[in-house]
Chains A and B, each alone.
Chain A
């Protein structure tokens, strides 16, 4: 039998008809699988919950490091610089300097710590009380405590401010305690590395969970798959509903993980407010940004599809071999 020659118009029509049918099957698969999910809500919820927890761990670690970073920058910016004046500079001169500095745009506050006050604090914190009593005169210089303006955030800006201060003749030296900030940075780096490793391990976990669920679905629909094969369904056609199933699981678990992170952030805001209040400042706990949200939910869906694909390939293969 020779196929009759088709006209171009007919070929185009048949292409658009086939595309239409193909899109129709996608829509049907998406709806059918969603329907199936809703028919066994408890089983579906268990799978989604297991996947959501696996997604939640890296997501919350991300939020934690993100906030630590923000906090680091925030505190670094508001770090106080202790400016030690040359020995012999009187407190009146220091007061003049402080007023002058306070007028600068890159400094919020400049406060003179008198020599007597300095000694008092030193006595309290050093534990050298009796030894200090032996001194006939106060050896401490006058100090001005400087708070940089909020817009001084980066390290270069801060260094610039400090070197500027050190060039003033009355100034002996300055001290900025940034050691803890550097440690925090190192900690954040460590956490970020852990985040990547954890993400990989948990992504594998998500694949296993969704793969196992899809495997059960395939087992339950063994007869249906068999019949589909017999009436001439392609592997792609048979695979499609399972991929949608996986996509739904992934999408739902991504949304669930996102919601849990959001809830955690809301719950953290109250103690964070209290903490910030004790420092007389404001700190907003950062939730997942738009990009991270899309990545979490989209990543969940992608993992769902991938896990489902692997399961379908493996189990359809073994079904064929058994026939």
Chain B
């Protein structure tokens, strides 16, 4: 589903963030991405979402070479990805419902369909009763779950999460990971960058460790 072929990413101000990175993530696979801060986890995810372009090498998503993708097609590419961020990127002046609905609105769905899907997604993360609330009234864990609902509402085949539990206590973190497992169960491909070693070590999934932009250890794959 996701394939990196000898990918390098160089930033003019801080040198090589990724060095000669190659790996493949199968469709429906769930994997964790670990490593110290600045090891290149976020950069890797940003390359998949085309917020960055590789300096060398190729990134393929769903057999599509992203270097062949013209800029005007980027929005359509991103609609296949559900992206979750540490600081959740919610819009403070929109309700929980409107935040979650955003990917469907930009994809041009009708109101009726949007209502159904948003409620289903909120139900999945257990926040249906907060539909009309503004994000500021929610706790950190709740906000993150709204972010997850937004990422999955359009039912994308791939979910990318960048430190989704970075600001949460262990209890809430476990809840979030349990949610991810549920998406894994229905066949979604997940790549989750995290520091939460305690939790992921107890889970039976592939772990890829980055160190200074290189893949230092990989518990699975090819």
Q: Which residues of A are at the interface with B, using a C-beta cutoff of 8 A?
A: 1, 17-18, 20-22, 24-25, 223-224, 226-235, 237, 323
CA distance in complex: A100, B135 (Å)? 93
> Taking CB as reference atom, which chain B residue is nearest A22?
B108
Whether B111 pairs with A24 at a CB distance below 8 angstroms is: yes
- Enumerate 22 A-B pairs (CB-CB under 8 Å) in ascending A order: A1-B62, A21-B109, A24-B110, A24-B111, A223-B89, A226-B89, A227-B91, A230-B49, A230-B83, A231-B83, A231-B103, A232-B78, A232-B79, A232-B106, A232-B107, A233-B106, A234-B75, A234-B106, A235-B72, A235-B75, A237-B75, A237-B106
Known A233-B75, A234-B75; contact A228-B106, beta-carbon cutoff 8 A:
yes
> Taking CB as reference atom, which chain B residue is nearest A19?
B108
Point out the residues of chain B lying under 8 angstroms from A18, CB to CB: 108
> Taking CB as reference atom, which chain A residue is nearest B109?
A21
Chain B residues 134-190 with CB under 8 Å of chain A are 150
* Interface: B102 (CB within 8 A): yes
Known A20-B110, A24-B111; contact A223-B103, beta-carbon cutoff 8 A:
no
Whether A232 pairs with B75 at a CB distance below 8 angstroms is: yes
* Interface: B203 (CB within 8 A): no
> Taking CB as reference atom, which chain A residue is nearest B73?
A234
Whether A227 pairs with B110 at a CB distance below 8 angstroms is: no
Q: Which 10 A-B pairs have the closest CB atoms?
A: A232-B78, A232-B79, A233-B106, A21-B108, A231-B103, A232-B75, A234-B75, A18-B108, A227-B89, A231-B102
Q: Which residues of B are at the interface with A, using a C-beta cutoff of 8 A?
A: 49, 51, 62-63, 72, 75-79, 83, 89-91, 102-103, 105-111, 150
Known A1-B62, A18-B108, A24-B111; contact A323-B102, beta-carbon cutoff 8 A:
no
Q: Which of A227, A232, A233, A235 has the most CB of B within 10 A?
A: A232
> Taking CB as reference atom, which chain A residue is nearest B102?
A231
Tell me how far the C-beta of B170 lies from the nearest C-beta in chain A, rounded to whole angstroms.
28
Tell me how far the C-beta of B71 lies from the nearest C-beta in chain A, rounded to whole angstroms.
9
Whether B78 pairs with A21 at a CB distance below 8 angstroms is: no
> Taking CB as reference atom, which chain A residue is nearest B103?
A231
Point out the residues of chain A lying under 8 angstroms from B91, CB to CB: 223-224, 227
Whether B108 pairs with A25 at a CB distance below 8 angstroms is: yes
Tell me how far the C-beta of A125 lies from the nearest C-beta in chain B, rounded to whole angstroms.
78
Point out the residues of chain B lying under 8 angstroms from A24, CB to CB: 110-111
CA distance in complex: A21, B90 (Å)? 23
CA distance in complex: A24, B102 (Å)? 14
Known A20-B110, A230-B78, A230-B83; contact A25-B105, beta-carbon cutoff 8 A:
yes
Whether A230 pairs with B106 at a CB distance below 8 angstroms is: no
CA distance in complex: A24, B111 (Å)? 8
Point out the residues of chain A lying under 8 angstroms from B83, CB to CB: 230-231
CB < 8 Å: which of B51, B77, B79, B105 contacts A323? B51
CA distance in complex: A74, B79 (Å)? 68
Known A1-B62, A226-B89, A323-B51; contact A231-B78, beta-carbon cutoff 8 A:
yes
CA distance in complex: A237, B79 (Å)? 14
Point out the residues of chain A lying under 8 angstroms from B49, CB to CB: 230
Point out the residues of chain B lying under 8 angstroms from A229, CB to CB: 75, 78
CA distance in complex: A18, B110 (Å)? 8
Whether A232 pairs with B103 at a CB distance below 8 angstroms is: yes
Q: Which of A22, A25, A227, A229 has the most CB of B within 10 A?
A: A227
CA distance in complex: A223, B94 (Å)? 12
CA distance in complex: A233, B109 (Å)? 12
Point out the residues of chain A lying under 8 angstroms from B78, CB to CB: 229-232
